[in-house]
Amino acid sequence: MPGGVREGGGLGPPLFLETIKLQGGVYRLLDLHRRRMARTWRAAFGEEPGFRLEDALPPPPDSGLYRARACFPGPQGPPVVSLHPYSYPRPDTLRLVRDPGLDYRFKLLDRSALDSLRASCGASDFILVRGGGLTDCSIANLVFESREGLFTPEGCLLDGVKRESLLSRGIVRARRIGPGDLGLYRKVLLVNAMIELEDDVSVPMEGILPL
């Protein structure tokens, strides 16, 4: 069970987070966010959420790009949602880092372990290597571009909603990618709820630093 739930059923700080893209007055990928939230609730609390995510979302502005940050305090809900103007990250290097035992199967509010590893990796961000295969960086799932097409590592720290959408539509395919396979690719693109493939938030292969 994720951290934050104390013995006896008491609650610590807010446990979970959903980051939802709000663009042009529309909340994006809400169905996938709802499904992930439901999976999290079943795994963490053994029940369905007692609220609807969309009911907690504030009326959207008509224009602009925003990150809707929905913080969930525990099984009682509902989430506390705040809107933040969004600008795209522009990493220039990614460092391969062996997995120190991170567990981010659920989108946790506490990102201290991820942020600490990112701060100490000596690059814009890290790429976590687990069991000999690449997974994610601290803020996004990864998509590798080659002449064959677009591929995401079969293992991931967090099954992000954008990754799930791209896989379900056949735009990317999952495969095992190890450090020795990087020469097969031209660049790596970062994707998450906020970042589309078309935004080209990417790093060329020469920007990936070795273990």
Are 44 and 105 within 8 A, CB to CB?
Answer: no
- Greatest C-alpha distance within the chain: 55
Domain limits, the chain: 7-85, 94-209
Strands (E), 86-192: 94-98, 125-130, 133-134, 141-146, 149-153, 173-175, 187-191
- At 10, the pLDDT band (50, 70, 90 cuts) reads very low
* Residue, of 155 and 44, whose pLDDT is higher: 155
* Residue, of 152 and 15, whose pLDDT is higher: 152
- At 12, the pLDDT band (50, 70, 90 cuts) reads low
- CATH code that applies to domain 94-209: 3.20.10.10
166-175 contact pairs (CB < 8 A, 24+): 166/191, 166/197, 171/197, 172/143, 173/149, 175/151
- pLDDT at position 211 over 70: yes
**pLDDT on residue 9:** 37
- CATH code that applies to domain 7-85: 3.30.470.10
